[in-house]
A and B are shown apart, each in its own frame.
Chain A
Amino acid sequence: MKATGVHLKAVKKSFGVVDVIRGVDMDVDRGQFAVFVGPSGCGKSTLLRMIAGLEETSDGQIFIGDRDVTHEDPADRGVAMVFQSYALYPHLSVYENMAFSLRLAKRPKTEIDDKVRESADILQLTDHLQKKPAQLSGGQRQRVAIGRAIVRAPDVFLFDEPLSNLDAELRVQMRLELARLHQKLGATMIYVTHDQVEAMTLADTIFVLQGGHVQQSGAPLDLYDDPSNRFVAGFIGSPSMNFFDATVDDRTEDGVVIRLSGQPDLTLNVPLSKPPSMGASVVLGMRPEHLIVTKAEGLRVTVDVAEELGGVSYQHGTLEGGDAVIFQQAGVRHGMHGTVQTVTPEPGRIFVFDTEGERIR
Chain B
Amino acid sequence: MSKLKRRRREIRAAGLLTAPFLFVFTVFFLFPTYKVIALSFTDAPLIGEGQWIGLANYAKLLNDRLFFTSLWNNLYFVLLTVVPTTVIALLIALAVSKLKGRMQALVLTLFFLPYVLPVSVVTLIWAWMLDFQFGILQPLIAAVTGKAVPVFNNPHWVMPMIAVVTIWWTNGFNVLLLIAGLRNIPEDLYEAAALDGATPWQRFWRVTWPLLWPVTALVLTLQLILQLKLFDQVYLLSNGGPFNSSYVVLMQMYREAFQLNNGGYASAIAMVLFLVIVIVSVLQFQLLRIGGRK
Contact = CB atoms under 8 A, between A and B. Distances in A.
Interface of A: 52-54, 73-75, 79-81, 83, 85, 87, 89-91, 100-101, 104-105, 148, 152
B197 interface: yes
A96 to B, nearest CB: 10
Nearest to B293: A91
Interface stretch (B34-42, B117-125, B185-193): B185-193
B288 interface: no
Contacts of B242: none
B197 A83 contact: no
6 contacts: A53-B194, A54-B194, A75-B196, A85-B188, A87-B191, A89-B206
A171 B49 CA distance: 76
A83 B207 contact: no
A53 B202 CA distance: 19
Contacts of B196: 75, 100-101, 104, 148, 152
**Which range contains the number of B residues in contact with the other chain?**
10 to 19
A54 B191 contact: yes
Given A91-B211, A104-B202, A75 B197 contact: yes
Interface in B187-228: 188-189, 191-198, 202, 206-207, 210-211
Nearest to A154: B195
A53 B197 CA distance: 12
Given A89-B207, A91-B210, A91-B211, A81 B198 contact: no
A74 B192 CA distance: 10
Given A75-B197, A101-B197, A104-B202, A87 B192 contact: yes
B192 A104 contact: no
Nearest to B209: A91
Contact of A83 (B192, B202, B211): B192
The 4 closest A-B pairs by CB, nearest first: A87-B188, A75-B197, A101-B196, A87-B192
Contacts of B192: 81, 83, 87, 89, 148
Nearest to A79: B195
Contacts of A75: 194-198
B197 A85 contact: no
Nearest to A75: B197
A53 B196 CA distance: 12
B215 to A, nearest CB: 13
Contacts of B202: 104
B207 A81 contact: no
Contacts of B188: 83, 85, 87
Contacts of B210: 91
Nearest to B292: A91
Contacts of A81: 191-192, 195
